[in-house]
Amino acid sequence: GAVVSQHPSRVICKSGTSVKIECRSLDFQATTMFWYRQFPKKSLMLMATSNEGSKATYEQGVEKDKFLINHASLTLSTLTVTSAHPEDSSFYICSALTGTGNTIYFGEGSWLTVV
Amino acid sequence: AQSVTQPDIHITVSEGASLELRCNYSYGATPYLFWYVQSPGQGLQLLLKYFSGDTLVQGIKGFEAEFKRSQSSFNLRKPSVHWSDAAEYFCAVGADRGSTLGRLYFGRGTQLTVWP
């Protein structure tokens, strides 16, 4: 079946640096992907919609300049956390919508720890 | 705006017992509804979804859910729980259609513990 893969699964970075998380659809093309953030023992919060070939659409309250999203191909979206701070530490999950537009697959998630 | 309420933060059941996880949504039109399961530190696995049609939806792993418009509910059920069902369960609602169907709004989750 369809698979969405995220990389890295875990990353530790220093405060002030930037870190990139990749989300790939492995066996289908995804014109639209979605990024979520999950705090420990909390629900998932939708951050943005990643659109292939165009700018991402951010949810209210999400800093566009902090969380840069690039969807350069039909199988890859990247989330870059810029100038990371400890409060950015979280579990980031992406999802992708299949070409038929009625099935959503989630990646395995990426743990980000900022020290 | 759409929202999802999962009233139960934590539920404990004995193995073999029946299970019902509650989910209530708020949305003006007919929503798309989903149930996902998450094991610790892992991504989400889709259990089942409702778009339209039969209000009783069958999913994987023996789960089912019933959409009740009058109650704005989409409760998840399983007749006999297995120890491997212990996980976090999330109900989600999607208000968009088409290319932004994946814009989902999640409930806070229900942690299921299964006693042997």
DSSP string, B26-85: E-SSPPEEEEEEE-TT--EEEEEEE-SS-SEEE-GGG-EEEEEGGGTEEEEEESS--GGG
Question: Which chain B residue has the Cα nearest residue A94?
Answer: B43
On chain B, the residues whose CB falls within 8 A of the CB of A48 are none
Give the span between the Cα atoms of A89 and B3, in whole angstroms: 25
- B46 to chain A, any CB pair closer than 8 A? The answer is yes
Chain pair A-B, CB pairs under 8 angstroms: 63
Q: Is B109 helix (H, G, I), strand (E, B) or coil?
A: coil
Give the span between the Cα atoms of A67 and A76, in whole angstroms: 16
- B52 to chain A, any CB pair closer than 8 A? The answer is no
Q: Is A9 helix (H, G, I), strand (E, B) or coil?
A: coil
- A58 to chain B, any CB pair closer than 8 A? The answer is no
For chain B, give the percent of residues with pLDDT over 90.
Answer: 74
Is 90 exceeded by the pLDDT of residue B29? no
Structure tokens at A63: 């800093």
For residues B17 and A99, the model is more confident at B17
Give the span between the Cα atoms of A32 and A25, in whole angstroms: 10
Q: Pick the closest to residue A84 from A12, A16, A23 (CA basis).
A: A16
CB-CB: which of A31, A105, A107 is closest to B99? A31
- B107 to chain A, any CB pair closer than 8 A? The answer is yes
Give the span between the Cα atoms of B91 and B22, in whole angstroms: 9
Angle at B3 between CA A76 and CA A111, to 5 degrees: 40
pLDDT of A92 reads 96
Contact (CB, 8 A) for A21 and A10: no
CB-CB: which of B42, B98, B106 is closest to A109? B42
- Given pLDDT bands bounded at 50, 70 and 90, which one contains residue A1? low
Give the span between the Cα atoms of B43 and B59, in whole angstroms: 18
| Chain segment B34-55, per-residue pLDDT in tens | 999 998 878 899 999 998 889 9
pLDDT of A103 reads 83
Share the mean pLDDT of chain A. Answer: 92
